[in-house]
């Protein structure tokens, strides 16, 4: 006879449940208490007590069901990580303000920033329902991400074919935004972590499905159109997955010897990075050079390497307080890139004679924007999206810029603080990895703002930039808040 | 055993047992009885609110593991905060125990 069929146990659990206000908690409490009663009843039966009587005695040994329920109710309630929530909302509002500065203040401009409000709505919904749903559907989600990434690749191949066959006249950027793969890679992190945790008892080798998933993502990144756009999500995915495994080894969730486990996971991480970089060949090393030694690749003012050189140079002249002090002549020289290619060490496209005309054309083109030269005109394109920190430093001075950076940093500290105050192991691991992922994005964005841009510019979570990246950051933040919210009322398998 | 004394010491004893190894509820109860020669034989259901409240205080954390029987067990693990709480409770208990012993010995003691 199954334990559920014992009326006395059923009644006991119902009496406990009656006192627990948060109904979704009932199942977890019931499971734990039922397991106890079953163990005890089995022990009685081993001593020859008949099954029905054994269950009655076991339930009697448990004590007063209502009293247990009342005390359980005190220990379990939904919580809100208010400081983190407020911090994220504050950053988002500053993101909207930044957009309004860029586009002007007005109703239409405000509506243009609607995706921030959408992002907030998504975060609140994910906070309310996200974590339980993620636990339930993590495996399916990973498959969905793989299918999404695969479909993305198939579409890419199809579009290339249609372009070659002249059926398509131009690349359909609007329909085929690189942001999609950005979102796919970014949001696969929490699902991958849950899969890792659930397979932890099988040891490091048991994590092979996650390894295969990461490998597939490496392939999708390399084979996709505009690989540069996948740099930051890929680095985030690989580093966050590595961080999760290291945490699991450090906390002894994985049954492996710490030292060996750390070495093995570090080797796997390096191998995946090497594969990712190796598959790209020269492109990867050029992007790396453009980030670390940009002057070696800054062959024209249209390159990211030149932007890195210029940003580093401008930051060196920034004031402690107030806007960078540049004369009108200096502004023009920066705006036309003459400061580097005529006055400085820059060599325009290798210095070939016919390219001198090319540089003159560039200067003439830029001059049309420099009648009344302003700081905004000499900064790289999309400076308000990609250089939010640099912009503050150059426009308002180092100190306000540092305050702005520290404000962002404080939110990430709060995020880790929230994650580490989650008692449930799986919830904590997921929230920690999510915090790690968002922090890595912040860090890479920050490096870009100091002239160390690697690959295409990423987004600054909650602050910049478009619909997909803001939604992605908000989903991740919503999941962290959700894991905290359900911490005391959910179990790992709920 | 007196209920008040029992309540005071139960969470300390649970933390002490968890210091040795991760355990699930039924295991804790049996260990408690075995170690105390059946002196600590509490109403078994009352263990769970204590465990859940210790979890709320971040003194313990829980995780699930499937037993050989297929039954899902919720294991409790002592955290760093739990270790600290155990030390505090041990000190409180020792002070209480000493006070009781001093009173029971009789005579007069002078604070110097």
Interior/surface letters B11-33, b for 16+ CB within 10 angstroms, e for the rest: bbbbbbbbeeebbbbbbbbebbe
Mean pLDDT of all residues in A273-301: 91
Contact of A376 with A324, CB cutoff 8 Å: no
B26 interaction partners in chain A (CB closer than 8 Å): 35-36, 39-40
B25 interaction partners in chain A (CB closer than 8 Å): 32, 35-36
pLDDT at B3 over 60: no
Which long-range contacts link A14-19 to residues 24+ away (Cβ below 8 Å)? A15/A65, A15/A66, A15/A69, A16/A65, A16/A66, A16/A68, A16/A69, A16/A72, A16/B45, A17/A69, A18/A66, A18/A69, A19/A66, A19/A68, A19/A69, A19/A70, A19/A72, A19/A73
What is the pLDDT, as a whole number, of residue A269? 94
Contact of A309 with A451, CB cutoff 8 Å: yes
Confidence of residue A357 (pLDDT cuts 50, 70, 90): confident
pLDDT in tens, A15-26: 999 998 888 788
Contact of A466 with A115, CB cutoff 8 Å: yes
Confidence of residue A102 (pLDDT cuts 50, 70, 90): low
State whether residue A457 is helix, strand or coil: coil
Rounded to whole angstroms, the Cα distance separating B92 from A1 reads 48
What is the pLDDT, as a whole number, of residue A443? 96
Confidence of residue A341 (pLDDT cuts 50, 70, 90): very high
A491 interaction partners in chain B (CB closer than 8 Å): 62, 64, 74
Q: What percent of chain B has pLDDT over 70?
A: 88
Tokens representing residue A420 in the block? 């580490």
Minimal CA separation from B107 to chain A, in Å: 42
Q: Which of A35, A64, A71 sits opposite B71 (nearest CB)?
A: A35
Return the domain boundaries, chain A.
3-75, 82-280+399-485, 291-317+323-396
Confidence of residue A249 (pLDDT cuts 50, 70, 90): very high
Contact B63 A492 (CB under 8 A): yes
If you measure CA to CA, which chain A residue comes closest to B56?
Answer: A75
Q: What is the pTM of this model?
A: 0.79
pLDDT in tens, A133-142: 888 888 888 8
pLDDT in tens, A159-212: 777 877 777 777 666 555 666 767 777 788 888 899 899 899 888 888 898 899
Output the CA–CA distances (angstroms, integers) from residue A3 to A26, A31, A258, in the order listed. 17, 11, 41
Contact A492 B49 (CB under 8 A): no
Q: Which residue has the tokens 């066959």?
A: A165
Helix axes A82-103, A114-164, angle to 10 degrees: 60
- Better pLDDT: A318 or A143: A318
Give me the sheet containing B60-66, strands edge to edge.
Answer: B23-24, B72-78, B60-66
Output the CA–CA distances (angstroms, integers) from residue B34 to A35, A37, A77, A106, A340, in the order listed. 20, 19, 34, 75, 82
Mean pLDDT of all residues in A221-235: 81
pLDDT at A126 over 80: yes
What is the pLDDT, as a whole number, of residue A173? 60
Domains along chain B?
3-94 (1.10.10.10)
Contact A488 B61 (CB under 8 A): no
A16 interaction partners in chain B (CB closer than 8 Å): 45
Q: Which of B61, B62, B72 sits opposite A35 (nearest CB)?
A: B72
Backbone angles phi and psi of B40, in degrees to 5: -90, 85
What is the pLDDT, as a whole number, of residue A261? 93
Contact B73 A35 (CB under 8 A): yes
pLDDT in tens, A449-467: 999 998 888 889 999 877 8
- CA-derived radius of gyration, chain B: 17
Contact of A384 with A101, CB cutoff 8 Å: yes
Contact B46 A488 (CB under 8 A): no
Q: Which of B10, B48, B78, B80 to mutate to test the interface with A (most CBs of A within 10 A)?
A: B48
Confidence of residue B1 (pLDDT cuts 50, 70, 90): low
pLDDT at B4 over 60: no
Rounded to whole angstroms, the Cα distance separating A235 from A232 reads 5
If you measure CA to CA, which chain A residue comes closest to B52?
Answer: A75
State whether residue B107 is helix, strand or coil: coil
């Amino acid at each position: 006879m199954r334990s559920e069929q014992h009326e006395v146990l059923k009644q006991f659990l119902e009496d406990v449940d009656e006192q627990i206000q948060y109904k979704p908690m009932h199942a977890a409490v019931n499971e734990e208490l039922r397991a106890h009663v079953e163990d005890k009843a089995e022990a009685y039966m081993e001593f020859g007590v008949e099954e029905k009587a054994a269950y009655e005695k076991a339930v009697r040994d448990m004590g007063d069901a209502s009293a247990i329920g009342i005390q359980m109710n005190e220990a379990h309630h939904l919580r809100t990580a208010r400081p983190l929530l407020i911090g994220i909302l504050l950053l988002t509002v500053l993101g909207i303000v930044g957009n309004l500065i860029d586009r002007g203040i007005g109703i239409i401009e405000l509506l243009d920033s609607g995706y921030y409000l959408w992002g907030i709505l998504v975060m609140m919904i994910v906070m309310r329902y996200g974590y339980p749903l993620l636990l339930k559907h993590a495996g399916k989600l990973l498959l969905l991400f793989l299918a999404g990434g695969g479909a993305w690749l198939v579409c890419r191949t199809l579009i290339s074919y249609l372009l070659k066959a002249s059926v398509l006249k131009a690349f359909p950027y609007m329909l085929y935004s690189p942001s999609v793969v950005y979102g796919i890679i970014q949001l696969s992190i929490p699902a991958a972590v849950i899969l890792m945790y659930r397979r932890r008892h099988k040891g490091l080798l048991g994590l092979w499905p996650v390894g295969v998933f990461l490998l597939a993502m490496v392939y999708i990144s390399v084979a996709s159109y505009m690989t540069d756009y996948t740099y930051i999500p890929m680095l985030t995915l690989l580093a966050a997955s590595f961080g999760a495994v290291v945490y699991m080894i450090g906390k002894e969730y994985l049954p492996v010897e710490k030292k060996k486990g750390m070495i093995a996971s570090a080797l796997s991480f390096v191998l995946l990075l090497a594969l990712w970089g190796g598959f790209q060949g020269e492109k990867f090393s050029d992007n790396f050079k453009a980030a670390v030694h940009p002057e070696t690749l800054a062959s024209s003012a249209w390159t990211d390497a030149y932007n890195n050189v210029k940003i580093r140079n401008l930051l060196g002249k920034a004031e402690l307080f107030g806007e960078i002090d540049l004369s009108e002549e200096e502004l023009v020289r920066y705006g036309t890139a003459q400061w580097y290619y005529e006055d400085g060490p820059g060599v325009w496209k290798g210095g070939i004679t016919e390219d001198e005309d090319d540089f003159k054309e560039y200067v003439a083109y830029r001059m049309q924007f420099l009648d009344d030269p302003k700081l905004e005109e000499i900064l790289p394109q999309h400076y308000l999206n990609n250089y939010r920190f640099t912009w503050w430093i150059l426009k308002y001075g180092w100190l306000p810029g540092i305050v702005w950076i520290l404000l962002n940093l404080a939110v990430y500290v709060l995020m880790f603080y929230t994650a580490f105050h989650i008692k449930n192991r799986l919830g904590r691991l997921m929230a920690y990895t999510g915090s790690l992922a968002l922090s890595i994005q912040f860090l890479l964005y920050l490096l870009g703002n100091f002239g160390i841009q690697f690959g295409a510019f990423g987004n600054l979570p909650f602050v910049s930039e478009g619909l997909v990246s803001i939604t992605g950051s908000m989903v991740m933040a919503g999941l962290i808040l959700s894991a905290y919210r359900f911490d005391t009322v959910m179990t790992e398998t709920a | 055993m007196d209920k008040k004394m029992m309540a005071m010491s139960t969470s300390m004893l649970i933390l002490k047992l968890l210091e040795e190894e991760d355990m699930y509820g039924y295991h804790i109860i049996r260990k408690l009885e075995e170690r105390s020669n059946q002196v600590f034989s509490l109403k078994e259901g009352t263990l769970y609110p204590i465990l859940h409240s210790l979890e709320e205080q971040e003194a313990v954390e829980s995780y699930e593991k499937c037993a050989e029987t297929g039954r899902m067990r919720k294991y409790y693990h002592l955290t760093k905060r739990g270790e600290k709480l155990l030390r505090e409770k041990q000190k409180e208990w020792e002070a209480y125990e000493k006070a009781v012993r001093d009173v029971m010995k009789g005579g007069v003691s002078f604070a110097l």
